[in-house]
């Protein structure tokens, strides 16, 4: 059986990081357009079932127009004879009156319980678990029923595989599990959602995969680069399924950290040109980019002009100035500037928390800008 596995569509996403209202609207449409892809890809790849492994919606607001759009896509899939299986996620959990508690077409099965349930399509048994707002007691994979007469077994969950770097950060509500726990399941394939980075692990005959978010949700490392849905061919009882990534993103999230250390001692104009050149080189109208400039300079980084020039080449351009000033002269130098820098250096060093330190860093930068006539 061929499956189309998508997750983390995050329809009606939170886009507060995009200041421009028109761009927010366009970006929201990018996400909504992923819904239209489902029937297209289902037909193109002749899949029999579409799996949506959670966080289809970014927020549990039943009034969002994307609901109607998804409904139409499901109807289209129904006409094509494709079954849709949905495991609600952390952003769009199952709840009475919630976004999933609606009349969906007959081909759509929404898993509504915080315990595993099964539904059989042909000779494949699908097992799904919904997020209902709280953590699951015991192991994620406890209590999976077994369907005797099914040839293949496919699990669907919005759950967090605990990579080493994630262990301390994952809340119980995210249905965390260790890779080893997969061995206790009888699944041939586990369709996962939650991690926005595409990823797959295979243990014996079982493959568990995250397709990732089909559009980059924010200016975050996990959202960078091309985005995918998965076409999964689950056929053999003994061999793991085959996975094919289908690129889906309309626009691309791009992050870059640029060190200005090489031009540290260059004149202001050279540094400004370096910034300008860097920004223009990566420009693309479908790119949401964040540049973080770092390094130690002799003067405050004046990037406004370069950002203004390059901004039109991007869908979104966000530039962070993490540069630091080279102390102008030794601390004992009798200048107001040096005295000011020395005072704020002490404030930064003695700051009680990160915000206090950040404010002191900014105060230093603003004061220096004012003294340089740049404020």
Partner 1 sequence: MKFIHLEMHGFRAYKEATGIDFEPGLNVFRGDNEAGKSSILRAIKASLFPPRSAPDRNACVSEGSDICRIGLEYELVAGERFRVERDLVEGQQALNAIENGTVRTLATGSSEVAGLLQEHLSCDESLFTRTLMVGHEDLQLASGDELTRAMSVRIESLIGGAGKVPADKAVRRIDEVAKKLTGPRVGDIVVVEQQLAEAQVRLQRAQEQAGRLTECQRELESLETELVKLHREQQELSEGLKQARVVADLEQRKTTVDEHLDLIERSVAARDELAALEQGAAAARAMVSAQIRAETMTVRARIPIPMTIISILLVLGGGGSIYVGQKLLGGLLIGIGVILVATTVAVRIRAATIRRAAIRQEVEQRVVEFETKREQARGQVQALLKGSDKDLQERRRDMSRTQRELEAEIIRLEEFRIPQAELDARESRLGELPALVVEAERNRGGLQQETQSLSAGAAAAPDIEDEIGVMEQRLERLKTRADALRLAQQELSATIDGFRQAIGPRIAADATRRLQLVVPEYAVGLVPDGGLTFRPTRPDGQAFDRLELSDGTDDQFFFALRVALSDVLFSENMLPLLLDDPFRYSDQRRKIELHSMLEDMARMRQVLYFTLDEPEGLQVTHQLPLAQARR
Which residues are bridge partners to 237 per DSSP?
none
Which H helix or E strand runs over 345? helix 336-349
| 56: contact with partner 1 by CB under 8 A | no
Considering beta carbons, is residue 134 or 339 the nearer one to partner 1?
339
| 304: contact with partner 1 by CB under 8 A | no
The binder of partner 1 chosen from 40, 46, 61, 280 (CB under 8 A) = 61
Specify the stretch interacting with partner 1 by CB under 8 A; choose among 126-134, 187-195, 197-205, 360-368: 360-368
Which residues are bridge partners to 290 per DSSP?
255, 318
Considering beta carbons, is residue 21 or 148 the nearer one to partner 1?
21
Specify the stretch interacting with partner 1 by CB under 8 A; choose among 24-32, 127-135, 224-232, 282-290: 24-32
| 320: contact with partner 1 by CB under 8 A | no
DSSP secondary structure, 38-98, as one string: HHHHHHHTT-SEEEE-S-SBSS--TT-THHHHHHHHHHHHHHTT-EEEE---SSS---TTS
The binder of partner 1 chosen from 14, 26, 186, 322 (CB under 8 A) = 14
From CA 148, how far away is CA 284, in angstroms rounded? Answer: 53
Instruction: Using DSSP, state whether 363 is helix, strand or coil.
Output: helix
The binder of partner 1 chosen from 6, 7, 18, 38 (CB under 8 A) = 18
The binder of partner 1 chosen from 46, 281, 305, 375 (CB under 8 A) = 375
Task: Restricting to residues 82-141, name those near partner 1 by CB under 8 A.
Answer: 97, 103
| 362: contact with partner 1 by CB under 8 A | yes
| 343: contact with partner 1 by CB under 8 A | yes
| 69: contact with partner 1 by CB under 8 A | no
| 267: contact with partner 1 by CB under 8 A | no
Considering beta carbons, is residue 59 or 221 the nearer one to partner 1?
59
For the bound state, the minimum distance from the C-beta of residue 141 to partner 1, rounded and expressed in Å, comes to 34
From CA 136, how far away is CA 175, in angstroms rounded? Answer: 7
Ordered alpha helix ranges (H), 150-219: none
For the bound state, the minimum distance from the C-beta of residue 97 to partner 1, rounded and expressed in Å, comes to 6
Task: Restricting to residues 322-341, name those near partner 1 by CB under 8 A.
Answer: 333-337, 339-340
Q: Please classify residue 18 by burial: count the beta carbons closer than 10 Å to its beta carbon, then call 0-12 exposed, 13-18 middle and 19+ buried.
A: buried
| 35: contact with partner 1 by CB under 8 A | no
Considering beta carbons, is residue 97 or 180 the nearer one to partner 1?
97
For the bound state, the minimum distance from the C-beta of residue 342 to partner 1, rounded and expressed in Å, comes to 8
From CA 60, how far away is CA 185, in angstroms rounded? Answer: 30
The binder of partner 1 chosen from 142, 178, 179, 358 (CB under 8 A) = 358
Q: Please classify residue 283 by burial: count the beta carbons closer than 10 Å to its beta carbon, then call 0-12 exposed, 13-18 middle and 19+ buried.
A: middle
Q: Which residues, at least 6 apart from 61, have a Cβ–Cβ distance to it below 8 Å? A: 12, 99
Considering beta carbons, is residue 188 or 365 the nearer one to partner 1?
365
Q: Please classify residue 169 by burial: count the beta carbons closer than 10 Å to its beta carbon, then call 0-12 exposed, 13-18 middle and 19+ buried.
A: exposed
The binder of partner 1 chosen from 29, 46, 65, 145 (CB under 8 A) = 65
Considering beta carbons, is residue 69 or 205 the nearer one to partner 1?
69
| 19: contact with partner 1 by CB under 8 A | yes
Q: For the chain, how many residues are written?
A: 375
Q: How far is CA 362 from CA 41, 348, 368, in A?
A: 49, 10, 10
Which residues are bridge partners to 231 per DSSP?
4, 244
Closest CA relative to residue 222, chosen from 33, 52, 8, 66: 8
For the bound state, the minimum distance from the C-beta of residue 104 to partner 1, rounded and expressed in Å, comes to 13
Q: For every residue of 234-256, which 3-state class applies, written as one string?
A: CCCCCCCCEEEEEECCCCEEEEE
- Catalog residues that contact partner 1 under the rule CB under 8 A: 12, 14-19, 21, 24-25, 28, 58-59, 61-65, 97, 103, 333-337, 339-340, 343-344, 347, 355, 358-360, 362-368, 370-373, 375
């Amino acid at each position: 059986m061929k499956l189309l596995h998508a997750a983390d569509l995050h329809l009606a996403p939170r886009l507060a990081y995009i200041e421009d209202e028109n761009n927010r609207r366009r970006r929201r449409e990018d996400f909504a357009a992923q819904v239209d892809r489902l029937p297209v890809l289902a037909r193109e790849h002749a899949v029999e079932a579409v799996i949506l492994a959670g966080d289809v919606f970014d927020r549990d607001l039943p009034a969002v127009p994307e609901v109607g759009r998804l409904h139409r896509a499901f109807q289209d899939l129904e006409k094509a004879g494709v079954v849709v299986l949905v495991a609600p996620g952390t952003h769009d959990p199952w709840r009475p009156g919630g976004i999933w508690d609606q009349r969906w077409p007959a081909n759509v099965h929404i898993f509504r319980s915080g315990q595993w349930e099964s539904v059989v399509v042909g000779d494949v048994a699908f097992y799904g678990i919904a997020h209902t707002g709280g953590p699951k007691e015991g192991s994620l994979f406890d209590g999976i029923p077994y369907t005797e007469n099914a040839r293949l077994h496919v699990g669907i969950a919005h759950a967090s595989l605990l990579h080493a770097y994630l262990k301390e950060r994952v809340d119980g509500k995210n249905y965390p599990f260790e890779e080893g726990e997969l061995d206790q399941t009888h699944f041939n394939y586990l369709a996962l959602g939650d991690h926005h980075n595409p990823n797959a692990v295979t243990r014996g005959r079982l493959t568990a995969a995250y397709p990732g978010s089909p559009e980059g949700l924010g200016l975050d490392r996990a959202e960078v680069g091309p985005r995918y849905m998965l076409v999964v061919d689950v056929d053999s009882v003994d061999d793991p399924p085959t996975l094919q990534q289908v690129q889906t993103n309309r626009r691309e999230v791009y992050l870059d950290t640029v060190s200005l250390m090489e031009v540290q001692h260059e004149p202001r104009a050279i540094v400004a040109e370096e910034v300008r050149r860097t920004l223009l080189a990566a420009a693309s109208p479908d790119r949401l980019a964040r540049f973080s400039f770092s390094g130690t300079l002799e003067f405050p980084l004046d990037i406004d002009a370069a950002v203004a020039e390059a901004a039109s080449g991007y869908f979104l351009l966000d530039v962070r100035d993490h540069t630091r000033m080279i102390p102008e002269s030794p601390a004992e130098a009798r200048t107001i500037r040096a005295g000011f820098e020395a005072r704020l250096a002490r404030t930064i060093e003695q700051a009680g928390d990160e915000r206090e330190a950040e404010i002191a860093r900014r105060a230093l930068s603003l004061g220096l800008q004012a003294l340089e006539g740049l404020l």
